[in-house]
Structure formats: structure tokens, C-alpha cells
Structure 1
Amino acid sequence: MSANTPPPGAELPEHPDFLWRNPEPEKSYDVVIVGGGGHGLATAHYLAKNHGITNVAVLEKGWLAGGNMARNTTLIRSNYLWDESAAIYEHALKLWEGLEEDLGYPILFSQRGVLNLAHTEQDVRDSVRRVEANKLNGIDAEWLGPEEVAQICPIVNTSADIRYPVQGATYQPRAGIAKHDYVAWGFARRADEAGIDLIQDCEVTGFTVDGDRVTGVRTTRGDIACGTVALCAAGHTSVLLDMLGVRTPLQSHPLQALVSELLEPVHPTIVMSNAVHVYVSQAHKGELVMGAGVDSYNGYGQRGAFHIIERQMAAAVELFPVFARAHLLRTWAGIVDVTPDASPIVGHTPYSNVYVNSGWGTGGFKATPGIGWCYAHTIANGEPHPYVAPFGLDRFTTGALVDEHGAAAVAH
């Protein structure tokens, strides 16, 4: 977990142990959500709030939000290229803007903007194209020259005589960061208040099946009958679907990030660069939060290779010479689930009462309220919400892919 704690004088939330019950699982539920991270908790909240469905269990094999939700770098933005991606992420961003009021809980949402740097002529062409696409979709986006980049973030090295000079950047002013733990605790508290059971230390080990329906979930805390199963297990989704004999085009990779020692506030925004492959923000407490790309190998270990750290440190120092003497405090990794078109899989499976939400790769945190809203709608109505309809599993046979590699090339 990162140490993004509130600034001095900010009101601290209650300790999480007192925010929700720790119930024993019932024998059956109308809906069983597998995965107690951000997406699972948000789905539970919106099932109750938007659809009045509260006979729900959220099953988490460890502790609530202890997987990728606790291991991400908290960036929030919606400046994606394709209409389909822009729609779901912009829906999420609009929910982020009112989420603290909705949850009645501090989440430290800070809209400090994001700069995506361009270093080559092709970068510039691609970036300007994305800005214009964003504008057509009603998303705030600007193209900035090097001088304007320096005005937004004076500590970026905009010199013309470095390896990859900054030729400009896209800028989304409404982008930002939030305190990931508080987000999870806020959703969990609301779900618990609605009567939803949040069951920790409950690993799914199998399913009971009758024809094209799953009738129950086998867990380390006993069998649980269910009307509907909603999978929200990020990097382990393919493991669960393997139990049902469903193959998915998912690959799981470690994705590591790191934080520096505490520094005075010097970094006013978020800066991302694909050419030198790093992104950097400064957390509320003062540490730099940095990340880069996924480790190339597949695996479920929550750790990464050292050479990735070396490369992202070199990239960070190249972009921010002021950080050359900053000390690395610690590193961690999550497990991201990546699809061939760098877009999520949301919707039906071959089983009539089993839904899947996976494949968010490095973009899962920013989607949290948006996908929770849309996944809850999908479960409650038996049909995909319009925002997630383009992301069905069948697109890998129809060829209707949503290729977001260009807008999501750097981990974020």
C-alpha cells in the first residue's frame, strides 16, 4: 500500500475495522460477487443504491481491497482515444467528481490535471489526434507546446538538448488522483450499511453447475448457493473461468510501482511519458509515486523485475533532474489482466447467470465508480449497460475490437 495520507490538519476517517461487519457467509444469496477490490465493492454499492438489490455477498480471498486496489498508483483520467473507451472513463470521472458526497466519506480526490508528453513527430501527431477526438466526445483536452508544459509543471526538463526533447503534451485539467484506501473503505461502508455481506478470507475453489447455470460457489468457508455470479477478480479472473471451462484472451502480468521518501510539495500535476516510459505524481503526504510498464512475463507473483525499476528511475531523472538525489523508499506490484486490444471484458459468459468484469490492464482504478455503476446495471437487468456493451467477450470472435494500445501504452 502507498502512504497517501491526508495533509496536516485534514480530518482522518474512522479506522476501517469499525466501518463494516465481518459476517459469516449465509447459505445462499441472490448475487455473489467474487472479488472484494474496488470494482467488486463499487458494484455492490450500486446494486443496492441504484437497483435495490441487497441480498448480496462480496467474497474476498484475502482482506478487502488488498489486491490491485491497494497496489495501484491512483491516477484518474478519461482522455482515451476511442469513443467506447472515452465514454466509460468519462462516466467514471463524472462519478469521481461527486463520489465523496455520495459515499459520505473523504477520498482526497485532487483534480490536478495530467500531462501526456510527446517527444517525437509521431507522438505529436498521435497526441493531437487524441485531443481532437476527446473534444468531439465532450472531454476536456488541450494541446500544449513546450513553453506551456513548463508553465503547468516547471520541474519538467523541457530543454532541447536532451535525448528525447519535449515537443509538447496533451493536457486534461480534470484528471487527478484519489486516496485508494479511502475509496475502498467508503464503498465498503455503504455496501455494509445496505445489508450486503462483505466476507473476507473466503477463497473460491470451484463452482456447482446445472446445465448452463451456476448454482453455487464452493469456497474455503463452505458452499454458497447463488442466483447470479459476478466475477471481479482482476488478474485471477482467468483462473476462476478455467474452473468453469471458459477460455478468455487474458494474460496476467506483474505491474510494479514505487514511492520515494517524503518531499516538500514540488510536483503540481501528473506527468506521463511513453517515449522514456515513466509517469510521476506526488501523493498527498509528499512522496513521489512512480510507475512504468508491465513486466513482460506472465505470473501471479506480486513482485517485479529489478531492471524495470532501473529503467523507470532513469526515465524519471531524465524528465525531472530535480529528483536526482531523491531516495527510493519502497516498491510493490499488482497483477494486471491484459487483453489483446488493451480494453476490458464486461458482460455475459457462456453461462446464463455468470457475468465477467476483467481485462482492465493498468486502467482499473480510474474506472472504479463507472464500472461499478455499469456492472450493477448489467447484473440487475440481464443486459449490458450501453457504456460496456462494446466490451463483450464475443468481440474476440466477431473482430469488433476496441484497440486502445495507443492511448494506454504507458502503465497508469
Structure 2
Amino acid sequence: MSAGTRPPGADLPEHPDHLWREPDPKRSYDVVIVGGGGHGLATAHYLARAHGITNVAVLERGWLAGGNMARNTTIIRSNYLWDESAAVYEFALKLWEGLEAELDYPLLFSQRGVLNLAHSLQDVRDSVRRVEANRLGGIDAEWLDADGVREVCPIVDISPAARYPVLGGTYQPRAGIAKHDHVAWALARSADAAGVDLIQGCEVTGIDVRGGRVTGVRTTRGSIAAGRVALCAAGHTSVLAAMAGFELPLQSHPLQALVSELLEPVHPTVVMSNAVHVYVSQAHKGELVMGAGIDAYTAYTQRGAFHVVERQMAAALELFPVFARAHVLRTWGGIVDVTPDASPIVGRSPVAGLYLNCGWGTGGFKATPGAGAILAHTVAHDEPHPLARPFSLDRFTTGALVDEHGAAAVAH
């Protein structure tokens, strides 16, 4: 840094009792990001860090990271089937591996590995296919037989008498979990320090478009002019798109999860199973974190049906009889946005200057730094990042779909 040059945000007032400022919205910004969850905060971070764009506002109708970011189960992996998907998630995973140092904040990123179990011959065929595809793409992936599964996770029931016999599984050693609230706080702190305004309690009620180009947003705290607007509102992105005059191929569903009481360390990795439709990990404090598939109906409720929780608990006990006497501490729900091909939409919209980041379904958390970096590039250059090109909105008219239903059959 040359003499006399001050870092971004150096003239901002100090706020030692808070991780970030609480500014009032200005009348205009170069970029407005709608949605203060992980993806919105990551986009702001990379706009400042990688592109020097700091006249940015992140608008959140509730509190920062109070939506899906606070309601996910924190699994991070990149072992997707198709090259396009695997490339995005591997890009994100590599960013995760350096993110704690980049943000100077303890994210509790634990690369404890992820096991995807196979219970039938078709499961085995599909799993081996995915392992070989991952290896060709340079992603760490292994096929384990039943004894190998037991070696990685001794508490999985691999007995032949099990209702769903474990024939083996895929394993990604570099995968793992992170502390979701720490991730959000670190990204928010970084963006704020660069001069980005993080504005909570600010709901977008309209999007202004003139001559086919976005000119700003209307909010519960007044109108804000903007040269560019990025939508990072997960399940509510289709609602925002309608304000701008176009439709998105999205469905929003509730997704439930639960945690147990605190237990001694007993579960060393993350285990997922499509056949019994559940995944289980153990958080840093000791509680078991369990999740399953999305509720079948579309809704914007942050809760779901009891029978889904009941089924996922029964499924977990099929795999882990050792947890039979554990008690549920609490359950919660999020809202996931799902596209017809179970892959995200990232890039430009039909409205000039309005950008999309949505459709991540149940895989949004693991993509957080990657999605932020890719969208920031797209916004800064008005040109899709190379990794985002396969996920443009127009694939639903050209037919160039990226069908990841196999990798996304169980929430992840």
C-alpha cells in the first residue's frame, strides 16, 4: 500500500461494541443486494475485496442471516455428479479451506468427511459412477465397501439383518461442516469494514424498472436508487422477480431439521442416505444435527409437517441404533427454492442491471463463498463468471439443463 493510501472503510466511525454498523439507508448506491443471508453477505464481501466496489447496500427485511443461513445444517461438500455442478461446489470448497484466514475469524470449519451410503445394487452403481466422475474432475472421492464404511464411522449399523443393509458408500474426506452463524458474522464484519452498508429491518416492496433497466428499489425505509441490483433472497426470489415483471421457474418448499440434546463425541463424520432419507452429523458442542427431504407442498412457512420429523428420526435409528435413547432438543424449518433441474440460477435476468442468485435448493450453505465470488464477478463486469454460464436462466428455454436430482435426492 503506497504512502498516504488508507484501506477501504478507514474513515468509518468505530463501533467497538458491535461487529458492524447500523446505518440508515442512503438515497442511492452503485449496487444494492437484496437479502442479508450468507450469499448476500458473501457477494458484498467479494465486491469489495475482489473488485473494489464498496458503495453497496445489503438490504435484509429481518435481521442479518436470520433466514435459511440460521436454519441450515451446515454440510459442505463438492461431490456432485455433473462437471458443471462439481466445478461450482469445488470452487466453493477451496474457498472454504482458506476462508477462516481470509476473514480472520474462527469459522469452525471441520473437514471431517461426508459419507453417502448405498443400500441397493442401483445405489451402488450410481455411487460408483459419481465417484469416477468426481475423480475425472480432480475431486477427492472414494468408494468404500461396508467394512470401509464401518472403519470411517463405527456407529453405522452395517449388519446384513438391518432393514436397509449398507452395501457401501461414497466418501469425500475434504468435506465437512462449519459454524453457520460465525460464517455470517465474519462476512458481515468484513463487508462493513470495507464500507458496505448492512441495513436490517428493510423489506423491499417494489423494484423500479425504466426502459428495460433497473433503476432502484422501493423499501419500507424509503426508495433507494441503484445502478445494479442483485437478488439473493433464496425462496423469496420469485416474489421479487415478479416485482420486476418476470417469472422464475422456482418452487419454494419448507425444509425441516432438528437437533438432539448434547452428547459426548461419538459421531466422527457426516452420514447421508437417500434410501432412508436422512443425514446426521454431530455439531461442535455435541448435539446431533439431523435433516431429511423437503416437505412435498409449496409454502413460505418456516415450519413443516410433524410426520416428516417423525420419519427422519425413524430413518436415523435405522442407521444409528445407538441413538435410540437420545432426546430431541428442538426442530425448525427453512424455505428452499427448487428449480426443475435441481440446479441454481446465477447470472443476468431479463432486466438489465438486475442479477439473479437463486434456486440452490438445499445446497446453498456449502456454496456460500463460491456463490458470492461468482455473483460479485458477474455484477462487477456485467458478464457471467465462467462457472456461472451453465446456470443461466435461459437454459430453461434452450434445454441445456444440469440435472442434479440424483445428488440432491436427499437434503444436503
**Do they superpose with TM above 0.5?**
yes
Q: CA deviation at 1:290?
A: 0.1
Question: Which residue matches 1:115?
Answer: 115
Report if the CA contact (8 A) 1:32-1:59 is conserved: yes
Q: CA deviation at 1:16?
A: 10
Aligned equivalents of 2:239 and 2:181: distance in 1? 26
1:256 aligns with 2:279: no
Question: Which residue matches 1:238?
Answer: 238
DSSP 3-state at the match of 2:293: coil
Aligned equivalents of 2:85 and 2:211: distance in 1? 34
Listed one character per residue, the Cα deviations across residues 156-206 of structure 1 (whole Å, up to 9, x for unaligned) are 000001221000000000000000000000000000000000000000000
Question: Which residue matches 2:61?
Answer: 61
DSSP 3-state at the match of 2:29: strand
1:91-240 maps to which residues of 2 (within 5 A)?
A: 91-240=91-240
Q: CA deviation at 1:109?
A: 0.2
1:267 aligns with 2:273: no
Listed one character per residue, the Cα deviations across residues 361-402 of structure 1 (whole Å, up to 9, x for unaligned) are 000000000010110000001111011110000000000000
Question: Which residue matches 1:18?
Answer: 18
Question: Which residue matches 1:411?
Answer: 411
Aligned equivalents of 1:386 and 1:33: distance in 2? 21
Aligned equivalents of 1:156 and 1:203: distance in 2? 45
Aligned equivalents of 1:209 and 1:249: distance in 2? 21
Aligned equivalents of 1:48 and 1:29: distance in 2? 14
Report if the CA contact (8 A) 1:278-1:316 is conserved: yes
Q: CA deviation at 1:214?
A: 1.3
Q: 1:16 to 1:298 in 2, by over 3 A?
A: farther
Aligned equivalents of 1:362 and 1:339: distance in 2? 11
Greater than 6 Å deviation, 4+ residue runs: none
Aligned equivalents of 1:241 and 1:16: distance in 2? 38
Aligned equivalents of 1:22 and 1:387: distance in 2? 34
Amino acid in the other structure paired with 1:49:
R
Amino acid in the other structure paired with 2:260:
S
Report if the CA contact (8 A) 2:344-2:358 is conserved: yes
Report if the CA contact (8 A) 2:254-2:294 is conserved: yes
Aligned equivalents of 2:55 and 2:409: distance in 1? 40
Report if the CA contact (8 A) 2:45-2:187 is conserved: yes
Aligned equivalents of 2:341 and 2:225: distance in 1? 35
1:318-333 maps to which residues of 2 (within 5 A)?
A: 318-333=318-333
Amino acid in the other structure paired with 2:295:
D
1:296 aligns with 2:288: no
Report if the CA contact (8 A) 1:16-1:185 is conserved: no
Segments of 5+ residues of structure 1 without an aligned counterpart are 1-14
Amino acid in the other structure paired with 1:371:
A
Q: 1:16 to 1:285 in 2, by over 3 A?
A: farther
Report if the CA contact (8 A) 2:207-2:217 is conserved: yes
Segments of 5+ residues of structure 2 without an aligned counterpart are 1-14
Aligned equivalents of 2:278 and 2:59: distance in 1? 34
Q: CA deviation at 1:245?
A: 1.6
Report if the CA contact (8 A) 1:271-1:281 is conserved: yes
1:303-314 maps to which residues of 2 (within 5 A)?
A: 303-314=303-314
Q: CA deviation at 1:209?
A: 1.7
1:39 aligns with 2:39: yes
Question: Which residue matches 1:376?
Answer: 376
Listed one character per residue, the Cα deviations across residues 34-64 of structure 1 (whole Å, up to 9, x for unaligned) are 0000000000000000000000000000000
Percent identity over paired residues:
79
The normalised TM-score by structure 1 is 0.96
Amino acid in the other structure paired with 2:315:
A
Q: 1:222 to 1:386 in 2, by over 3 A?
A: same
Amino acid in the other structure paired with 2:81:
L
Question: Which residue matches 2:10?
Answer: none
Instruction: Report how many residues are paired.
Output: 398
Question: Which residue matches 2:30?
Answer: 30
The normalised TM-score by structure 2 is 0.96
Aligned equivalents of 1:16 and 1:108: distance in 2? 23
Q: CA deviation at 1:19?
A: 0.5
Listed one character per residue, the Cα deviations across residues 94-126 of structure 1 (whole Å, up to 9, x for unaligned) are 000000000010100000000000000000000
Aligned equivalents of 2:104 and 2:201: distance in 1? 27
Aligned equivalents of 2:162 and 2:371: distance in 1? 41
Aligned equivalents of 1:214 and 1:100: distance in 2? 35
Q: CA deviation at 1:17?
A: 6.2
Q: CA deviation at 1:93?
A: 0.2
Listed one character per residue, the Cα deviations across residues 241-291 of structure 1 (whole Å, up to 9, x for unaligned) are 111121111000000100000000000000000000000000000000000
Report if the CA contact (8 A) 2:208-2:244 is conserved: no
